Chain A
Amino acid sequence: MKLTRVGLAGMVLLAGGCANLFGESAQETKNRELALSWYRDTIALGHVDQASKYMADDYIEHDPRISGGKAGFVRYYQNASSRPAEAAEITSFGQGDYVVIVWSRDDKDPKTSTPYKYTTYDVVRIKNGKIQEHWNNAKQNTKW
């Protein structure tokens, strides 16, 4: 039987506990998928009613624009003007309890209107299958 590289990788994944093509364990892949779903549903789309599905009750937020843990997160992202514009993923991966997502965002130079790209980061720590802690590169006056 001839195995393609993708097919072989799939078999490795099925073996369980082995690293995937990105060097992640099965648990790290699961964590990454959780983080991406959380970001999409609650931050990008503003479905903050799903916050408890993803986030721990004692969630810790490091974004300096948001205070008050999970409740503060919900208050902030239920406001449409707080939510970020669509972005392309540069990379994401899980390592241990952490997941990092790096985004490429489009903007225009405020003086010349020339389009340019810039990069933003989200890191989460996952505990007991929930988002426990979140960091990003936001400042108090960040709008994206």
Chain B
Amino acid sequence: MNILRLFGGLTVSAVVGPMLLAQQHPSNVPPIIPMVTTYDVSSLKYTPRQQDHIAIGDLFFRALHSGHFEIVTNLIEPPDAVNHNPNDPKTPPGLMALLQTRIPEPKALFAEQDQIPSLVLANDNFVVFMWDQKAMGADGKEYPANRFELMRFKDGKIVEHWDVANRRENAQEWKLDWCEKAGRKDCPAR
């Protein structure tokens, strides 16, 4: 089992054998939520199972975007996991292969401050992450906007993942080109 240090000095156990995690949490464990927010979140309470899912989801994003694909592989349920994005390969291995073309060498796992969510909501099977971000307007000025990701968990692993991409605002032709040239079978239909 890996011990990973998250924000504010909090420590969480994660990865290898995530099904064990819920059993290891005592019932009085304080919230371990990597969230930096200005919103009123005083009403949010998380069960140990939800905290495990949130920690796994947070690690998934960080590992994916820092090129630690060996960690990502431990967090998803093969072979049926689905990546719902109209521009990306539909399977996590395809998504990782795509990102590996952009991140050939792993970077620091927790260096990406943009990955700290402003709100995390969970029920027994789903976790939604929300981030406060900046978008660029047609006038060249930045404005506040929100990004979201949804994950579904089964037996402590990620089995589905949804983000907010579409083919009008953020069409990414290079991804479709790459997938077809790579001869993959999990490419989205053009």
Beyond known contacts A123-B130, A141-B138: 19 more, CB 8 A cutoff: A24-B123, A62-B144, A62-B146, A64-B144, A91-B150, A96-B43, A100-B121, A102-B162, A109-B190, A110-B167, A112-B190, A116-B167, A116-B189, A119-B163, A121-B128, A121-B150, A138-B145, A139-B169, A142-B169
Residue numbers in A under 8 Å from B123 (CB-CB):
22-24, 93, 95
The residues of A with any CB-CB pair to B shorter than 8 Å are 22-24, 62, 64, 90-91, 93, 95-98, 100, 102, 107, 109-112, 114, 116-121, 123, 125, 133, 135-143
Q: For residue A96, give the distance in angstroms from its CB to the closest CB of chain B.
A: 3
Residue numbers in B under 8 Å from A138 (CB-CB):
145
* Contact yes or no, A140 B43, CB < 8 A: no
Interchain residue pairs with CB less than 8 A apart (23): A23-B123, A23-B124, A90-B162, A91-B152, A93-B121, A95-B44, A96-B42, A97-B40, A102-B162, A109-B190, A111-B190, A112-B190, A118-B164, A118-B167, A121-B128, A121-B130, A123-B119, A123-B128, A125-B40, A135-B146, A139-B169, A140-B137, A142-B169
Residue numbers in A under 8 Å from B188 (CB-CB):
116
Interface hub of B47, B144, B168 (most chain A Cβ within 10 A): B168
> In the bound complex, what is the Cα–Cα distance between A62 and B147 (angstroms)?
12
Residue numbers in B under 8 Å from A137 (CB-CB):
145-148, 164
> In the bound complex, what is the Cα–Cα distance between A142 and B147 (angstroms)?
13
Residue-wise, chain B 28-45 has the 8 Å CB interface mask toward A (1 for contact) of: 000000000001111111
**Range of interface residues on B (Cβ < 8 Å):** 35 or more
> In the bound complex, what is the Cα–Cα distance between A111 and B173 (angstroms)?
11
* Contact yes or no, A114 B190, CB < 8 A: yes
Q: Which of B122-150 contact A (CB under 8 A)?
A: 122-124, 126, 128, 130, 135, 137-138, 143-148, 150
Contacts A118-B166, A136-B146; A95 near B86 (Cβ below 8 A): no
Nearest-CB residue, chain B, relative to A126: B43
